[in-house]
């Protein structure tokens, strides 16, 4: 073997990459510790506790926090979710239709409702009776909230369904058709069962998004029996001039959203293992 020419000790560069990395990591830890120490020493703990975690104010939130606020959040979310799933499926099928105008209508709807802030949709809904005299959204405030969430959610859900249906390989339909199944039968027996598996994880994420967006019901001017978590927290916070109820509402959201997010992750992994 030919010997490599030795040029001025290349391995002895001033700082080896590994050394550099070690120093960089040391600096990052130092910054973190300094920030923590600063926070612990300089934060006004009594004042923070007084404003954000006052036990007696938190106690006032019970039991309405669960019996009214969380209950309503779930009603708005589940209602909006069901509406968005039904409407979203219709939009997805239109998007994949062989009839061109259906594709256009669906595409336009999806672009508009994904492009607008959900808040704007809710504000529009409050003006519906003005725009259409005599028109009233059924089921009152519940209906309005569910309509708003359903209209926005349908646009996203339609895209999830479309992607799911398109993700089933073309060869699956060909195999079904070559066995003599009709087009509709192939969809029901072969495509849709596979699409459902693909669609479940993103749909779970979409449900979490709707749950958070249900806070926009606040802008419908709801009160009393109809308030959901955000409005409930905000009202109590004003009443006691204290932020604790908002913290409490936030924690209540997390109690629901974090397990759901975890579930979506699990489902995603499950899908990866086939079947």
The two tokens of residue 261 are 């997010």
Candidate ranges 43-51, 54-62, 153-161, 182-190; the one touching another protein (CB under 8 A)? 182-190
Is the backbone of residue 200 left (phi > 0), alpha (psi -120 to 50) or beta? alpha
Candidate list 117, 140, 193, 265; residue touching another protein; CB under 8 A = 193
Give the CA angle between residues 74, 79, 81 to the nearest 5°: 95
Binding mask 92-111 for another protein (x = CB under 8 A): --------------------
Residue 174 found at the interface with another protein (CB under 8 A): yes
Candidate list 30, 37, 175, 251; residue touching another protein; CB under 8 A = 175
CB of 201 to another protein, least distance (A): 16
Give the CA angle between residues 36, 42, 47 to the nearest 5°: 115
Candidate list 7, 47, 98, 178; residue touching another protein; CB under 8 A = 178
Candidate list 54, 71, 197, 271; residue touching another protein; CB under 8 A = 197
Residues 6+ apart with CB under 8 A from 230: 214, 215, 217, 218, 249
Nearest of 115, 113, 112, 95 to residue 104 by alpha carbon: 95
Candidate list 17, 63, 133, 274; residue touching another protein; CB under 8 A = 274
Candidate list 50, 51, 166, 194; residue touching another protein; CB under 8 A = 194
What ranges in 43-134 are assigned the alpha helix state H? Answer: 45-52, 55-60, 64, 71-95, 100-115, 118-131
Point out which residues bind another protein (CB under 8 A): 169, 171-172, 174-182, 185, 189-190, 193-194, 197, 274-275
């Amino acid at each position: 073997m030919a010997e490599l020419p030795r040029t001025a000790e290349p391995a002895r560069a001033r700082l080896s990459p590994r050394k550099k990395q070690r120093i960089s990591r040391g600096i990052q830890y130092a910054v973190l510790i300094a920030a923590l120490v600063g926070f612990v020493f300089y934060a006004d703990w009594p004042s923070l506790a007084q404003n954000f975690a006052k036990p007696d104010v938190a106690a006032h939130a019970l039991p309405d926090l669960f019996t009214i606020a969380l209950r309503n959040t779930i009603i708005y979310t589940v209602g909006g979710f069901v509406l968005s799933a039904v409407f979203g499926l219709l939009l997805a099928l239109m998007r994949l239709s062989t009839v061109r105008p259906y594709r256009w209508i669906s595409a336009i709807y999806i672009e508009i409702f994904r492009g607008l802030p959900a808040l704007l949709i809710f504000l529009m809904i409050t003006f519906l009776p003005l725009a259409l005299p005599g028109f009233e959204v059924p089921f009152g405030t519940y209906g309005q909230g569910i309509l708003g969430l359903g209209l926005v959610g349908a646009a996203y859900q339609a895209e999830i369904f479309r992607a799911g249906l398109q993700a089933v390989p073309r060869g699956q339909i060909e195999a079904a058709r070559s066995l003599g199944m009709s087009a509709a039968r192939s969809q029901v027996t072969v495509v849709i069962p596979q699409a459902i598996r693909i669609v479940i994880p993103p749909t779970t994420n979409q449900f979490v998004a709707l749950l958070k967006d249900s806070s926009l019901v606040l802008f419908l001017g709801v009160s009393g029996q109809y308030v959901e978590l955000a409005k409930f927290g905000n009202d109590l916070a004003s009443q006691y001039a204290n932020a604790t109820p908002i913290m409490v509402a936030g924690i209540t959201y997390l109690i629901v959203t974090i397990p759901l997010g975890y579930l979506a992750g699990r489902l995603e992994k499950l899908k990866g293992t086939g079947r």
